[in-house]
Amino acid sequence: MGKKTKIGFAAVAVGAAAWAGSKALANPQARPKKEILSYESPIVLAHRGGSAIAPENTMAAFKNSAGFGVQGFEIDIRLTKDEEIIVFHDEYLDRTTDGAGRVAEYTLEELRKLDLGYHFLAADGKHSYRGKGEGVVTLKELLEEFPEMHINIDIKDSPEAYEGSLMPSKLWRLIDSLDVHSRVVVTSFYDEQIDRFNLYAQNRIAIGAGENEVRKAFTAFNSQFGHLYKPRSDVFQIPVRSSMFRLDQPRFIAFLANLNIPVHYWTIDAAQEIEALLLAGAKGIITDRPDIAMDAVKEFQEKNQ
């Protein structure tokens, strides 16, 4: 046996020993179950209220989706100039309103004057909500209007922005004052915002996974050291694909399920894709078409009773 071969066998042996040692010492800990995530059947969350059927983040959208029977809403939040939390996705107003500029540059009173239906294109090709009085909704108003709904809250303001630096504490105070701890999930693309929020919440609120946490989990899953992964989130809300990687693999979903972490996929509007994800083990569908999604989930459940 040559020297290089011996070195190769030794390296393999060392790697195997390291894996075996880590496996023996590791004690994978599942996340404690949060009340809001303790459901048996898959749920449907209307994305921004169901933005394909009414102007996003408006009461019209939320009420329409509630009428279809969704279990909750997936929303984005931003902070206004006078530090009010509103349900709004974009940093700039131009795309969805008749206003211009950054949300953080306006007070709530000023934002109330804008028409959120201004750019909405209805299915019939007409701007059916323009001038209909659909305006900005605060997070407080949404929580009070729909007391039975699961609300998934995504912090959009960057932690580096002034408004973003205030958001975690403002959000915690609002949730705590309304006593809605068991009705909300708080998440963000920014892991730092989730961490900041949890400094106040102290794991009393279900939290989602930021981009770095998703990357860490998927890397662990694909390695031989998945047993060393220690989750910091209660639920994953992710797309089907990220770059070249498929995040809808049944084995990945099962990997997270073993840690008490359900997976919700966004933004899914096709019935066939919804059925495929549910078959793979998805526990939630985030959709712009709650009418289609509710029918698809109901049909799936009837087939698999």
Task: Kindly report, residue by residue over 51-64, the tens digit of the pLDDT.
Answer: 999 999 999 999 99
Least confident of 30-34, 46-50, 65-69: 30-34
Percent of the chain with pLDDT over 90: 82
Q: What is the pTM of this model?
A: 0.89
pLDDT at 123: 67
**Mean of pLDDT over the chain:** 90
Strands 284-287 and 236-239: unpaired
Which of 121, 148, 132 shows the shortest CA–CA distance to 59?
Answer: 132
Catalogue the active-site residues: 47, 89
pLDDT band at 245 (very low <50, low <70, confident <90, very high): confident
pLDDT at 189: 95
Domains in the chain and their CATH numbers? 31-77+151-303 (3.20.20.190)
**In residues, how long is the chain?**
305
Contact present, 150 and 143 (Cβ < 8 Å):
no
Q: What average pLDDT score do residues 74-98 get?
A: 97
**In this predicted model, which residue has the larger pLDDT, 257 or 28?**
257
Q: What average pLDDT score do residues 124-137 get?
A: 88
